[in-house]
């Protein structure tokens, strides 16, 4: 059990400074279980807490774990330069509570992107030492041949990499599409591996991280959801 004053609760959820949150409470903009709360000093149990601000319901989360179906032309950066940042897709309070992308997808790559404000979770998910497989569907410029698949499985040498990098699995999906599973998470890895194997990637979508499948989440492009405990378990290595 954990109790916090209401102003601290709202601040922790990204709704602004304690002073601003206290003003919201005093103005009667916050309610719990249908009762308007105007005293910012009242201690509230956070476990299972649902509150309303401006008549919009929010569930208290000590940390948030989010899955986003990333559209094209969004950057996975808090300081985007050439395209909008993925944080602009989420409610603005997530920026204030320091939610960050877990790893990066190129601006033109779509699909499953994790986001969180839990530093150890972000570090663990980003670490190549954990060998968490990630599944991609790549559209290629030239037809996918058995020789191309064989090269990707055997390993290709990339510039600045000390050893060849190989796909965990690789299979043909269509004449110009293949599914490739990687564990390393190197910079532009799928695109660079395809180039090194003699082809060119023209579109890329990440469909799965660990056991978490984007299709199972039912998210259209640009939609997001919180991940529950059962879904977070799917992100752990076998």
Sequence-distant (6+) residues with CB within 8 A of 168 are: 133, 181, 182, 183
- Exactly one of 39, 106, 160, 229 is catalytic; name it: 106
CA angle 214, 125, 101 (to 5 degrees): 70
Cβ-based neighbour number of residue 138 at 10 Å: 25
Residues in the chain: 238
Alpha-carbon distance of 191 to 185, in angstroms, equals 12
Q: Classify residue 92 by burial, with Cβ atoms within 10 Å: 0-12, 13-18, 19+.
A: exposed
Q: Is 106 a catalytic residue?
A: yes
How far is residue 214 from each of residues 12, 115, 125, 144, 219, measured CA to CA in Å? Answer: 29, 14, 16, 24, 7
* Residues forming the active site: 106
């Amino acid at each position: 059990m954990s109790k916090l004053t209401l102003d601290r609760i709202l601040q922790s959820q990204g709704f602004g400074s304690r002073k601003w949150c206290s003003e919201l409470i005093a103005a009667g903009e916050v309610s719990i279980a249908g009762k308007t709360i105007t005293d910012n000093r009242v201690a509230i149990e956070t476990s299972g807490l649902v509150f309303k601000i401006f008549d919009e319901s929010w569930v208290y989360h000590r940390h948030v774990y989010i899955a986003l179906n990333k559209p094209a032309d969004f950057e996975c950066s808090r300081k985007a330069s050439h395209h909008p940042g993925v944080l602009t897709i989420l409610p603005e309070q997530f920026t204030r509570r320091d939610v960050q992308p877990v790893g990066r997808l190129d601006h033109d790559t779509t699909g499953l992107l994790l986001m969180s404000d839990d530093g150890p979770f972000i570090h663990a998910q980003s670490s190549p030492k954990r060998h968490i497989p990630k599944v991609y569907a790549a559209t290629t410029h030239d037809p996918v041949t058995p020789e191309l698949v064989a090269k990707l499985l055997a390993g290709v040498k990339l510039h600045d990499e000390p050893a060849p990098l190989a796909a965990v699995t690789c299979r043909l999906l269509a004449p110009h599409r293949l599914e490739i599973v990687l564990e390393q998470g190197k910079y532009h890895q799928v695109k660079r591996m395809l180039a090194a194997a003699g082809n060119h990637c023209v579109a890329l979508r990440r469909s799965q991280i660990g056991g978490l499948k984007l299709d199972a989440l039912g998210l259209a492009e640009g939609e997001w959801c919180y991940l529950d405990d059962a879904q977070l378990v799917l992100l752990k290595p076998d």
